[in-house]
Structure 1
Amino acid sequence: MTTTTAAPERKATPISAVFARFLSRHSSWIPVFAALGILLLMLIVAEAYFGNFLTPRVISALLLDNAYLFILAVGMTFVILTGGIDLSVGAVMAFTGMLGASMLRDGVPTALVAPIMLGLGALMGLGVGVLVQYFDVQPFIASLAAMFAARGLAFMVSLSSIKVEDPAILWLQSTRLQTGVGGWYITPTGIIALLTVLAGALVLAYTRFGRTIYAIGGSEQSARLMGLPVVRTKLLAYVVSGLCAGLAGVVFTAYTGASYPLNGIGTELDTIAAVVIGGTLLTGGSGYVVGSMIGVFVYGTIKTFISFLGADQSWTRIAIGALLLLFVVVQRLIVARSSRR
């Protein structure tokens, strides 16, 4: 006579336990989830205070108004992940915008102007990379020199504002693609921004170039010893940043309908703040493009909240500074915890 013994039932693992285990193994995601939590909290508080904050019009406008910043944040993420910095993105955006607007005014076809703007941005990024890699100039100094150069070139194009009347460029911003559900909409500039974020995330996650960027940020010396193409990868990281700045020049020109030499002043700091708030370590080696996207949403939500209050926009800077300080402290704690392990 045989007896069968029932197998003990396995208790279902709580979702909280799975999430805690994930974070313990992937501590680099902690700042990203922290940024997401702060974003959700701000949206809830804003809706409770104003009552009309979480509407399709307002949320769609977050992407519309910050499309250029999403693009800049993608390029900045690549550079910061290598342990570098790029202070030239705002000036490069202004220079490419001024040159593009000038060419459009002179009758140059849009199909030629846009690639020229992207190419000039990439070339400026390459120049910064060459200074950093071959002349051993600190990224801060190299990109600062490029910032002054690009800003000066913008003033050389014109000292005054140039209005853009090209239909193709204006179409990027003026077209509202309605979803047909609840009044949500998106513009071509928003689509470009989201595609840039998607492309950056895929490149970092699934290509050798992306994995090498993380390796360089973790330890450049170790990356060299492993035979990884450190020089080429760092150069390409700055090229990506410059290319994104050129693309942001196209998007920002469409957004404003004009170009001005002083456009983008301080934008490089907003971009760095958004990337850091999104969880990318300033020392490099840890961070995600998705986190940078969340950081831009946090930045945009703070600006919109301040506008709803009718307060001075200087409070936006104060709030971003406080959040930046908070996330730098969080990053230091994560690094210290990882070192102990």
Structure 2
Amino acid sequence: MASLKAIKAKTRLSNSNLLFLIAAVIFVLMYIFAIITFPRSFMQFQTFFDLFNLNAPLIIMTLGLSIVMIGGGIDISIGAVCGLVTMACAVLLESQAGSIGGAVFLALAIGIAFGLLQGYLIAYLEIQPFIITLSGLFLAQGLLTTLHKDPINVTRPDFVALRDFDMVISWLGTRNRLGVFIPSEIKPGVIVVVVLLLLLAALMKWSRFGRNVYAVGGNSHSAMMLGINVKKTIFFTYVICGLTAGIAGFVYIMTTGAGNVGNASGAEMKAIASAIIGGTLLNGGVGNLLGAPIGTLTLLIINELIRAAGVQSNYQAIISGLLLYLFIVLQSVVMSLRDRKNITMVLPSWLKSGFHPRVRQRE
């Protein structure tokens, strides 16, 4: 009997995996609904791939933000940092001394610099993450407008060739109305997303750092009692988040081909919403990085459905807000039910019945 209980305990889904499973099921149902409602558009493989092609920067930012949120923090500067990186890379690439390698290095340097600064202030000086990252948002926006106010179209031949490069999937595609087979295409940004997703998911699942992040996000005081360096763990979550914001900025300019003061504006709010929809809790300790692209795609499908239905664009924000409410309430209900069940399972039989054996002995 005891071994059976042990097997059930081992096979029981964790909170992170359960919320990820719920998010994945909702995404599949939403996409099936989209196919049924608008088959001409959503039945095409390229429509699905374009969700990744056009929104790879947002998925990358969501990955980094999810790590910070699992650790119990928040970062609202990532959108502005991403925009700053796009403009800085555009200015460098259009200069005579610019190169693609130099632009990649600049993007990583800017992202890591913001991560180091904000991570140190939050982890070691113990200042509220919202205040620090709000300051980072204003700093990045100020640097962006100071650097260059007008849009910059990057016309370097080697960069244009990189931007226009497509990985063709010859065996997967659709036929147009004339019966001509059109293969599906994947942009370089999607490859970056896949590589980062695999690396960061493996980091969070199998490394000591990943386990420490979950422990700190669940209960920082308990993590400290277990010998975990809480400040160092929090610090590196923000460094990783800054790094992913820098990578997202370079992928953004590869997607659009231009630097603009409006690039990635409001992306931090979309990333937060995507992380929550993907199963990451705001209070930390629970989340699955595989849910980051799921949450992002779910949010995007909602917007695409609204656009395909011909509804006014201002309703997208309304429905996205309502969807976010729904997921937060759903997560709260699921977690409360599981916590209640855990308490019931852990309590001994005499406490479940309200009878303490030692009390009876004293009587």
Q: TM-score, normalised by structure 1?
A: 0.90
Deviations 1:68-94 (A, max 9, x none): 011001100110001100000000001
Q: Distance in 2 between matches of 1:172 and 1:327?
A: 38
Query: Which of 131, 135, 140 does residue 150 from structure 1 map onto?
Result: 140
Deviations 1:227-257 (A, max 9, x none): 1121111111001111111011101111111
Q: 1:249 to 1:141 in 2, by over 3 A?
A: same
1:314 Cα deviation after fit: 2.3
Q: Distance in 2 between matches of 1:24 and 1:315?
A: 40
1:337 Cα deviation after fit: 2.7
Query: Which of 105, 114, 117 does residue 124 from structure 1 map onto?
Result: 114
> After the TM superposition, which parts of structure 1 deviate over 4 Å for at least 4 consecutive aligned residues?
20-24
The aligned runs of 1:102-141 (5 Å cut-off) are: 102-107=91-96, 108-141=98-131
Q: 1:23 to 1:144 in 2, by over 3 A?
A: farther
Partner amino acid for 2:150? S
Q: 1:103 to 1:128 in 2, by over 3 A?
A: same
Who is 1:321 aligned against?
A: 321
Q: Distance in 2 between matches of 1:195 and 1:299?
A: 22
Report the count of equivalent residues: 322
8 Å Cα contact 1:213/1:285 also seen in 2: yes
8 Å Cα contact 1:87/1:269 also seen in 2: yes
Q: TM-score, normalised by structure 2?
A: 0.85
Q: Distance in 2 between matches of 1:339 and 1:57?
A: 42
8 Å Cα contact 2:123/2:232 also seen in 1: no
Structure 1 portions without partners, runs of 5+: 1-19
Who is 2:52 aligned against?
A: 63
Partner amino acid for 1:85? I
8 Å Cα contact 1:154/1:261 also seen in 2: yes
1:29 Cα deviation after fit: 2.2
1:23 Cα deviation after fit: 8.2
Query: Structure 1 residues 54-63 or 26-35, which shifts more?
Result: 26-35
8 Å Cα contact 2:15/2:335 also seen in 1: no
Who is 1:199 aligned against?
A: 199
Q: Secondary structure at the match of 2:170?
A: coil
Q: 1:78 to 1:172 in 2, by over 3 A?
A: farther
Query: Which of 168, 173, 187 does residue 178 from structure 1 map onto?
Result: 168
Matched, 1:51 2:51: no
The aligned runs of 1:148-297 (5 Å cut-off) are: 148-181=138-171, 182=173, 183-297=183-297
Q: 1:222 to 1:22 in 2, by over 3 A?
A: closer
Query: Which of 87, 99, 105 does residue 98 from structure 1 map onto?
Result: 87
8 Å Cα contact 1:62/1:300 also seen in 2: yes
Q: Distance in 1 between matches of 2:156 and 2:334?
A: 49
Query: Structure 1 residues 184-193 or 309-318, which shifts more?
Result: 309-318
1:26 Cα deviation after fit: 2.2
Larger radius of gyration: 2
Q: 1:287 to 1:172 in 2, by over 3 A?
A: farther
Q: Distance in 1 between matches of 2:159 and 2:167?
A: 16
Query: Which of 28, 31, 48 does residue 40 from structure 1 map onto?
Result: 28
Partner amino acid for 1:313? S
1:310 Cα deviation after fit: 2.8
Who is 1:6 aligned against?
A: none
Q: Distance in 1 between matches of 2:278 and 2:22?
A: 8
Q: 1:322 to 1:23 in 2, by over 3 A?
A: farther
1:336 Cα deviation after fit: 1.9
8 Å Cα contact 2:87/2:147 also seen in 1: yes
Q: 1:24 to 1:334 in 2, by over 3 A?
A: farther
The aligned runs of 1:80-99 (5 Å cut-off) are: 80-99=69-88
Q: 1:23 to 1:93 in 2, by over 3 A?
A: farther
Partner amino acid for 2:47? V
Q: Distance in 2 between matches of 1:22 and 1:169?
A: 51
Query: Structure 1 residues 124-133 or 137-146, which shifts more?
Result: 124-133
Q: 1:242 to 1:339 in 2, by over 3 A?
A: same
Q: Secondary structure at the match of 1:115?
A: helix
8 Å Cα contact 1:92/1:121 also seen in 2: yes
Structure 2 portions without partners, runs of 5+: 1-7, 174-182, 343-363
Partner amino acid for 1:307? R
Query: Structure 1 residues 216-225 or 165-174, which shifts more?
Result: 165-174
1:169 Cα deviation after fit: 3.5
Q: Distance in 2 between matches of 1:99 and 1:68?
A: 16
1:259 Cα deviation after fit: 0.9
1:45 Cα deviation after fit: 1.5
Partner amino acid for 1:56? F
Q: Distance in 1 between matches of 2:21 and 2:283?
A: 20
Q: Distance in 2 between matches of 1:299 and 1:77?
A: 16
